[in-house]
């Protein structure tokens, strides 16, 4: 029993040591590193929300193709909610319930705006200007997506609407969302790369030296 007690005590001390070490590690981060980590988290959230909105648009597209108008409407509303977030003018919570897997109601557009603000706050020189432009472009693309989704919903609510007309709006929405998210392979051309190019660049350590430095 004493042997087990000693093991338990040693185990407890080890856990306390690890917790203390982790705390010291976090406290030991420089302001620049903390700022970079916040940027990465925000960029990851933006990419995740844009990807989820894109999936909803693709589902809406597929439902229209088989004549399931009601399901297409649901997926279009979901995409609208995911882009705008809970504070959006068109947000309808019944379409994106947490129990259906929609656990983050912040929105792709709000996250991308946060990312833009964080990049502006972290940039001390002109070297970061391309990444500001990349975030600004992504914001514009997301904002431009909303009217196309709303038009698609209006068309689906109107009798006699041609399916091809609805598909045009979904194609436009898909293209704009893909532009906002873009590709991590385009990290060397950030103004064309959207949010994923910013995230790839951050993950590769691009923010540790001259572009993003803590504003003292």
Q: Which comes out higher in pLDDT, residue 186 or 70?
A: 70
Q: What is the pLDDT of residue 185?
A: 61
Q: In angstroms, rounded to a whole number, what is the distance separating the alpha carbons of residues 88 and 110?
A: 9
pLDDT at 52: 96
pLDDT of the residue at 56: 97
**pLDDT at residue 209 in the model:** 43
Predicted pLDDT at 2: 47
**pTM of the predicted protein model:** 0.80
The per-residue pLDDT for range 28-38, each reduced to its tens digit, is: 667 777 888 89
Residue 212: pLDDT above 80?
Answer: no
Residue 119 has pLDDT above 50, yes or no: yes
Q: In this predicted structure, what is the pLDDT of residue 4? A: 46
Residue ranges per structural domain of the chain: 31-203
Instruction: Please state, in angstroms and rounded to a whole number, the distance separating the CA atoms of residues 155 and 140.
Output: 24
Among 7-11, 100-104, 124-128, 169-173, the minimum mean pLDDT is found in 7-11
> Ramachandran region of residue 127, left (φ > 0), alpha (ψ -120 to 50) or beta?
alpha
Query: DSSP states of 118-156 as a string?
Result: HHHHHB-SGGGHHHHHHHHHHHHHHHHHHHHHHHHHHHH
Q: What is the pLDDT of residue 208?
A: 47
Nearest of 134, 79, 132 to residue 107 by alpha carbon:
79
pLDDT bin (cut points 50, 70, 90) of residue 82 is: very high
Confidence of residue 24 (pLDDT cuts 50, 70, 90): very low
For domain 31-203, which CATH number applies: 1.10.3470, 1.20.120, 1.10.287, 2.30.30?
Answer: 1.20.120
Q: Regarding predicted confidence, which is higher, 11 or 29?
A: 29
Q: Model confidence over 127-137: pLDDT tens digits?
A: 577 888 889 99
pLDDT tops 80 at residue 19: no
């Amino acid at each position: 029993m004493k042997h087990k007690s000693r093991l338990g005590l040693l185990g407890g001390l080890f856990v306390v040591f690890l917790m203390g070490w982790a705390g010291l590690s976090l406290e030991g981060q420089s302001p620049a590193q903390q700022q970079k980590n916040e940027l990465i988290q925000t960029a990851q959230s933006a990419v995740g929300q844009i990807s989820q909105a894109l999936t909803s648009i693709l589902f809406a597209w597929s439902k229209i193709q088989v004549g399931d108008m009601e399901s297409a409407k649901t997926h279009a509303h979901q995409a609208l909610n995911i882009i705008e977030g809970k504070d959006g003018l068109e947000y309808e919570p019944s379409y994106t319930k947490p129990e259906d897997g929609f656990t983050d109601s912040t929105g792709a557009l709000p996250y991308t705006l946060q990312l833009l603000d964080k990049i502006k706050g972290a940039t001390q020189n002109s070297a970061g200007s391309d990444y500001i432009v990349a975030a600004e472009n992504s914001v514009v693309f997301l904002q431009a997506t909303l009217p196309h989704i709303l038009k698609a919903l209006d068309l689906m609510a109107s009798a006699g609407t041609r399916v091809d007309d609805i598909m045009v709006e979904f194609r436009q929405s898909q293209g704009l969302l893909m532009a906002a998210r873009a590709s991590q392979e385009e990290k060397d051309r950030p103004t064309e790369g959207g949010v994923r190019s910013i995230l790839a660049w951050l993950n590769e350590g691009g923010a540790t030296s001259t572009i993003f430095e803590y504003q003292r």
